[in-house]
Amino acid sequence: MSEPAARLRAVAVDDEPLAIERMKMLCARLDTVELAGTAADGASALPLIEAIRPDVLLLDIDMPGMTGLELAARLPARLGDAMPAIIFVTAFDQYALAAFEVAAIDYLMKPIDAARLARAFERASSWRRSAETAPAWLEEFWVPRRGELVRVSVDDVEYVQAERDYMRLSTAGRSFLIHQTISNLEARLDPARFVRIHRSVIVRRDRVARLFHERSSGWHVELADGLVLPVGRTHAASVKALLTGQADPG
């Protein structure tokens, strides 16, 4: 006889006390879920999430101070591989697309239906199992474009450039914005295929046609389509070593 599946540990964040009480009641009815903590705002939720490291985060969106979307966007840099499955719980439907930009696995409308919540937890459980068996490196992105989500293969990405709180994925003739930090993205891209050349730029190695130096502005890479990108001073030695196998460019 197989052992029962481990219970999912959840944290709920909502500024409405009645919403938190209802979530406690609904979770108590589920044998597969343990509500391990609650918070009334994003600021107090951050240290709680870091301490508990939940499997699932039940997150309201419209909260004072820090919205649920802003809280979710901060988590990858703080949690790394320990990211929970995010389920947004809200009274507003206009945030759905933005929710999936931060990799939410479900989007529930208030008042929460018990059966619908149970299905969301089932999705969270499946998401965690697939994450545990997924390849070490990213193979695709799902990005928002004109009101829908579009699949972008990592094989199509030529370079990535930071734009404030976003990363722009550039492919042949098209580009897409994702809400992620460059450090987190760098850690999830195969270093055999991608190299960080600047604090704000990652390029696909097989798209680099030339590495060259200019006395006035330092090192640069030229991509196959002729685009020239600067190499950051702190990255110059590692970039040359990775691309050419030669020593420090000086």
Assess whether 169 and 112 both reside in one domain: no
| pLDDT, tens only, 80-121 | 778 899 999 988 776 665 666 566 888 888 999 999 999 999
Assess whether 124 and 27 both reside in one domain: yes
Q: Which domain holds residue 237?
A: 140-244
Please answer whether residues 78 and 71 qualify as being in contact, where contact means their C-beta atoms are separated by less than 8 angstroms. Answer: no
Q: Provide the domain count of the chain.
A: 2
CATH number at residue 115: 3.40.50.2300
What are the angstrom distances between the C-alpha of 127 and each of 134, 138, 162? 10, 15, 28
pTM of the model: 0.57
Question: What is the β-pairing status of strands 106-109 and 140-145?
Answer: unpaired
Asked if residue 1 is part of any domain, the answer here is no
Q: What are phi and psi of 127, to 5 degrees?
A: -60, -40
Assess whether 210 and 170 both reside in one domain: yes
| pLDDT, tens only, 124-156 | 998 887 766 656 688 888 877 766 677 889 999
The DSSP element (H or E) to which 125 belongs, if any, is: helix 114-133
Assess whether 98 and 182 both reside in one domain: no
Q: Measure the CA–CA gap between 101 and 70, rounded to whole angstroms.
A: 11
Strands across the sheet containing 33-39: 33-39, 8-13, 56-59, 85-90, 106-109
Assess whether 151 and 236 both reside in one domain: yes
| pLDDT, tens only, 206-227 | 999 999 988 888 899 999 999 9
Domain end: 105, 133, 161, which one?
A: 133
Q: Measure the CA–CA gap between 202 and 236, rounded to whole angstroms.
A: 13
Assess whether 49 and 20 both reside in one domain: yes
